[in-house]
Amino acid sequence: MEERGGKGFRSGMPQALALVILGVLLAFGGDPFPLLNARAFLLPITAVLLPVTVWWWWKGRKALAVGAFVAALLTALPTARFLVDRPGKPSGTEFLRVALLNVHEDNDAYAEVVAVARSTGADVLAVLETDDRWYQDLVAALGDQYPWHVHGGGERFYGIALFSRVPVRNADVVSLDGLPSIRAAITTPSGPLILFAVHLRAPESAAKTAQRNRQWRMLETWVSEEAGPVCVVGDLNTVPWDRSFRNFIGATGVDGGRDILRPTWPTYAGACLVPLDHLLAGHGAQVGATHLLDIPGSDHLGKTVTLRTAGQQAPG
């Protein structure tokens, strides 16, 4: 019996080694295309490997179980730092609620999306994937509550709109390496805030990945030039453990708060796999309570975030 068990363990070694090599590649392989797209799914990959480990161990496939467990540990490493370094609960004063809605341009559930937008109670709405048709319908439906609004159109699936019920001193549509973004100077109860609404390029090819990374560097320059409170809101098409995202956080000092790892795409029955939609804040502002919401007809979950003044962070 021991001999057969030993042979069984040895017979699973090639597959176990392959799992470990895969884990090493996903954990330490960097972010070149197309590897970065596989690395975007580290959270669900880890979640699958853990029960697979238990299953194989229970079935007596111990080499495979060990390989799957080691691979699970490796794929968890890039995300673990966000749990270890998780910021404390913000204790500053609440001063603005921002909602992010990626409505999906081909979506025709206008009334339902408008109802969701109104239900957020947000002071500022950043609405992504809005073509002219979407923008006109949103203005007609929301203009009474959000008298300040601006739209940046252009390439399909990359239109972006901003709506505000609090005063906007100025708002400009600015090219972010060929795609529209919005820079808005907003007057809040706690003073001025600069808000950047963006939709970064999806890394669907090596060229598009390079463009997305250039957008990160441009955005880093813009945010670093702001002396006062600033926030960045949008579909960043980047997970927080991606090198470009980490470099941006390190260079600008902004932060995504305690819930930065909560997935928002792609939606299926209210569940998601990848955290792509974010609100980052810094320079005197910090991310407070965050809530996810369903957007009828969209492949993204929406997000509402309460901004707080930067103060002492409570532990926990």
Distance set, CA 251 to CA 29, 66, 182, 217, 230 (Å): 22, 39, 21, 10, 14
> What values do phi and psi take at 244, rounded to 5?
-60, -40
2 pLDDT tier (thresholds 50, 70, 90): very low
Per the structure block, which two tokens stand in for 119?
């239900």
Q: Return d(Cα 157, Cα 131) in angstroms, integer.
A: 8
286 pLDDT tier (thresholds 50, 70, 90): very high
Give per-residue pLDDT as tens, 231-261.
Answer: 999 999 999 999 999 999 999 999 999 999 9
Give per-residue pLDDT as tens, 169-186.
Answer: 999 999 999 999 999 999
Give per-residue pLDDT as tens, 3-53.
Answer: 445 555 567 899 999 999 999 999 999 999 999 999 999 999 999 999 999
Give per-residue pLDDT as tens, 131-168.
Answer: 999 999 999 999 999 999 999 998 999 999 999 999 99
- Kindly report the pTM of this predicted structure: 0.93
- Burial readout 267-276 (b: 16 or more C-beta within 10 A, e: otherwise): beeeebbbbb
**Would you report the helix, strand and coil content of the chain in percent, each value rounded to 5?**
40, 30, 35
| Residue 258 half-sphere exposure toward CB, CA atoms < 13 A | 15
